[in-house]
Structure 1
Amino acid sequence: MLLGFKTELHPNNKQKTILAKHAGVARHAWNWGLWLTKNILNHNSHNPARDKLKFPSAIDLHKLLVAMVKPQNFWYYEVSKTAPQYALRYLSLAWKRCFSKVSGIPKFKKKGRDDSFTLDGSISLGFNHIKLPRIGWIKTFEVLPDNVTAKSVTITKKAGRWFISFKIETEPQVTEKLVDVVGVDLGVKSLATLSTGEVFVGAKSYKKLETKLSRLQYLNRHQVKFSKNWKKAQLKIAQLHNRIANIRKDTLHKLTTYLAKNHSQIVIEDLNVSGMMANHKLAKAVADMGFYEFRRQLEYKCELYGSQLTVVDRWFPSSKTCSNCGNVKESLSLSERVFKCEYCNFSCDRDLNAALNLAMAGSSSVSVCGLDNADVARWEAGIEQIIYRKS
């Protein structure tokens, strides 16, 4: 299977300049291609069918770029030709996603915001340095993997630091599992509660550094826009945002690796993250936990370590269901942190109860609604006991 490898580069001042030139050419090619394609779409929408222009592909855009743009902009020849080529390929993919209604209309790129470019060709990897076309050997801050060939690399700039990423071929690593089935309930109070009773507290990096971030943003308000001091303040804010994101990712990587290595089957709930983010009272806490990133990491790590990931339907009443007798409550407010069953007098932590229900749901085949025949029979038996008690 293919895995992404990302590390930080350690370029000198001359290499930083050539990296910035590559990012600038890629950004210019993207913006030019976006301007051209938008004009073509505008022309086609206001003209009859016989006068419509063909929407250009990535190859067509590159041919037009070579014929119309490169002769007028000599600095295109100072960088690798693959930088604008890949920028136009990504633009073509962005339009395809837009036409299929997967994402919105592509936007123009600004200098200093998400600067990146992709290269291919003669790429060589050393112990702690990598050779790139038209750039040469660049040092890295950590040791690169052995016996690996990179066909293409993507270089990005974030908070004043340059990073390189590429794909490597890795064999699945099947590890010895300590637990067969585990249910994982995600929350804002604790990041994850397992059906085994383990509780993992989230990093909550944004909450811890929010005061420092607010202070930097307040001081930045008094700077003259685009001045040197303003740019320095902007860099400090970007570096703090990057630190917050890295702390969150580190916590998620440790948790997902532990789950995938030590559990044969992991059962999680299909959370409506976008709906939770729409709630202004929960949005900050949900974003600080990183639920989407948790599931993304868990998906590829289960494949890497030979585990099975089961996603239960979001309408499955994991929190409202008693894990002891199967009774389902009509309502359960968020303020009730302890689950108490009125019929079997079972009491347990709310998140642990939900994790136990997820583990039971994942131990057998789950249907579309999140319930299987065994669970239905168990809950029917619980309902019969309830009816008997009432009579």
Structure 2
Amino acid sequence: MKQFKPQPGFTVLAYKLALDPNTTANRHLHSHGGAARAAYNWAVAYITAVWWQRKAEQSYGIAEDQLTEWRSWSLPSLRKAFNEDKRTNPRFAHWWGENSKEAYNTGLANAAAAFDNYAKAKSGRRKGRVMGVPRFKSKRKAHPTCRFTTGTIRIEPDGRHVTLPRIGRVRFHEDASRLRALLDAGHMRILSATARLHRGRWFVSFQVEEKHRLVKVARPDTAVGIDLGIKTLAVLADSGGVLGEEPNPRHLERAQKQLRRAGRVVSRRQGPDRRTGQQASKRWEKANRARNKIHHRVANLREDTLHKMTTRLAREYGTIVVEDLNVAGMGRNRRLSRRVADAAFGEIRRQLTYKTRRRGTRLVVADRWYPSSKTCSRCGVVKAKLPLGMRVFVCENCGLVIDRDANAGHNLAALAARTTGTGVAGDLDLVKAKSKPRGADRKTRSTRPRHEAGTGRAGGTIPSPRAGAETGDRQQDTGAQLVLW
């Protein structure tokens, strides 16, 4: 996939807008998405055919130097082979000219990236879970998508339509006059456009090169600690001690009654069966669309809630402190997995990461082993145990009685002062977090990091979080990771 480098003073951003295509435009969009999927499946078959051929030849005892040569999966090689095959292959010979070349290039580029990720994961050069061999995309399950990098990509002067290569003029569902004004002023340039069918409707995403426009946040000298949870989505505590709460709307839980009813209707219809080749009935498809519509509404409500919260925080505070939560581990708890998924802790951190980067502010990520809930925010004493069922923090040393989440928010807000030196936006004293041992995420007795004397063992104390804001230059970091953009 082509990567763009921004010019000095510009940055690469993306804008996603919904479309309202008419019947003709909808047919063209589906055709381009299907062409991209067909090109992807062709590339997978083209590469894996040689793998199976070599495996069969090895079983016959053929020497290594006489085996069929490997085929390259780089994008130029795939594009050259596809152009030679598309005119004679019966799958493409009669209709490949109906779509833009960008549709086929999208599928080939995605296949090249998939094989590259598989090779890197196989050799240990890729972070994350091991990637499997790329598989064919199903027409029923795949999301039609097409990326345009050349040709006519234009937002019309009325701000209500977009022109895409070979597809033509498509109407926006929302007004894009602001983007058109930036284009006319020379503050923006469109690099590419990606059309994708998502949650039952078409969207277009513009990758643009936009001029830097840094806007000063409302409180640049204030740090806020965010303690995420299920009962309350986020408890906020800034360096001035002001508390705030973001209630958890629990969109998925509210829709459970509707989903159960829709699921029962789907189960009574004749659905598809890959083992017997049974096709889904029209009534099953209609009931499945009704059930998917409920899921789409839940996802849209969740996305709207998270974007409004993270945007408000990024606009107001100069420093934001969050926890490095083990969301994957929390999702394995069968009693909490659905509520954890509905809260979307990982999505909150992802949005805060790029929104603070865009506004030139700081995001401090507390270490996963930092005891924000067990530490007294007044005197700094660390409790040995604090079960999840205990929602009120009571300090036996100073007698502080405070809500558990509020106490954690105060500790996170004060952590910014000890990490950056003074806690004032713009003053940096970067302290790296302690590395964790292998397998530390499992939280077993043998893999827990050893606590140093007086820094978290039962009965020990750490410097008071509130006192750290005043004498931050003399404090030692208790485990934080600063993400600076």
TM-score norm. by structure 2 comes to 0.74
Question: What is the alpha-carbon distance in structure 2 between the residues aligned to residue 128 and residue 248 of structure 1?
Answer: 27
* Structure 2 Cα separation of the partners of residues 356 and 100 of structure 1: 42
Q: Which residue of 1 aligns with 2:13?
A: 3
Show the counterpart of 2:131: 104
Q: Is 1:174 aligned with 2:215? A: yes
Aligned residue in 2 for 1:188: 230
Task: Tell whether 2:109 aligns with 1:89.
Answer: yes
Residues 180, 263 of structure 1: 8 Å contact kept: yes
Q: Give yes or no for the alignment of 1:30 onto 2:40.
A: yes
- Determine which of 225, 248, 259 is the counterpart of 1:213: 259
SS in 2 for 1:191: strand
Equivalent residue for 2:394, pick from 321, 331, 340: 340
Distance 1:188 1:199 in 2: 12
- Give 1:203's aligned residue: 249
- The 3 A distance-change label for structure 1 pair 142 and 381 is closer
Whether 1:264 aligns to 2:318 is yes
Residue 49 of structure 1, CA deviation:
4.6
CA drift at 1:224 = 2.2
Which residue does the alignment assign to 2:51? 41
Q: Name the CA shift for 1:363/1:45 in 2 (closer, same or farther; >3 Å).
A: farther
Aligned equivalent of 1:116, options 138, 142, 145: 145
In structure 1, distance between residues paired with 2:116 and 2:407: 44
1:77 aligns with 2:97: yes
Distance 1:380 1:318 in 2: 11
- Matched residue of 1:233: which SS? helix
Query: Which 10-residue stretch deviates more, 198-207 or 222-231?
Result: 222-231
CA contact (8 A) 1:116 1:157 kept: yes
Amino acid at match of 1:78: E
Q: Distance in 1 between matches of 2:463 and 2:285?
A: 67
Q: Write out aligned runs for 1:303-322 (5 A).
A: 303-322=357-376
Partners in 1 of 2:108 and 2:155 — Cα distance?
A: 27
CA shift for structure 1 position 139? 0.6
Deviation at 1:241, TM superposition (A): 1.2
Call closer, same or farther: CA 1:363–1:53 in 2, change over 3 Å.
Answer: same
Residue of 185, 196, 211 corresponding to 1:156: 196
- Mark the runs of 5 or more structure 1 residues left unpaired by the alignment: 383-391
Structure-1 residue corresponding to 2:25: 15
Mapping 1:58-77, distance limit 5 Å = 58-71=75-88, 72=90, 73=92, 74-77=94-97
* 1:141 to 2:144 alignment: no
Deviation digits for residues 247-282 of structure 1 (CA, Å, limit 9, x no counterpart): 111111111111111101001111111111111111
Q: Structure 2 vs 1, CA of residues 158 and 176 (structure 1 numbering), >3 Å: closer, same or farther?
A: closer
**Number of the residue aligned with 1:368:** 433
Residue in 1 aligned with 2:269?
Answer: 223
Q: CA deviation at 1:132?
A: 0.7
Deviation track 1:290-343 (CA, whole Å, cap 9, x = no partner) reads 111111111111012221001111111111111111111111111011111111
Pair 1:111–1:177, CA change in 2 (3 A): same
CA displacement at 1:283 relative to structure 2: 0.8
Q: Greater shift after overlay, 105-114 or 340-349? A: 105-114
Contact 1:124 1:149 in 2 (8 A): no
Q: Distance in 2 between matches of 1:307 and 1:168?
A: 22
Note if contact 1:316-1:369 (Cα within 8 Å) is conserved in structure 2: no
Q: Structure 1's 299 and 200: CA in aligned 2 closer, same or farther, altered over 3 A?
A: same
Letter in 2 for 1:152: S
1:117 is paired with a residue of what secondary structure? strand
Query: Which SS does the other structure have where 1:314 is aligned?
Result: coil
Shift of 1:45: 5.6
| Per-residue CA distance 1:76-100 (angstroms, 9 max, x = gap) | 1110011111211111112222222
Give the superposition deviation at 1:158. 2.4
Q: Partners of 2:25 and 2:230 in 1: how far apart?
A: 43
Pick closer, same or farther for the CA change 1:380–1:227 going to 2, 3 Å: closer
**Paired residues of 2:364 and 2:416 also in contact (CA < 8 A):** yes
User: SS of the counterpart of 1:319?
Assistant: coil
Q: Deviations over 1:214-268 (max 9, x none)?
A: 2111101112232222111222222221111111111111111111111010011
Question: Could you say which residue in structure 1 is the equivalent of 2:6?
Answer: none
Q: Aligned with 2:298: secondary structure?
A: helix
Equivalent pairs counted in the alignment come to 379
More displaced, 253-262 or 45-54?
45-54
CA contact (8 A) 1:98 1:104 kept: yes
Specify the alignment match of 2:292 in structure 1: 238
Distance in 1 between the 2:170 and 2:116 partners? Answer: 35
Q: What SS is found at the alignment partner of 1:363? A: helix
Contact 1:40–1:55, Cα closer than 8 Å, also in 2? no
Task: Pick one of 155, 163, 182 that aligns with 1:125.
Answer: 155
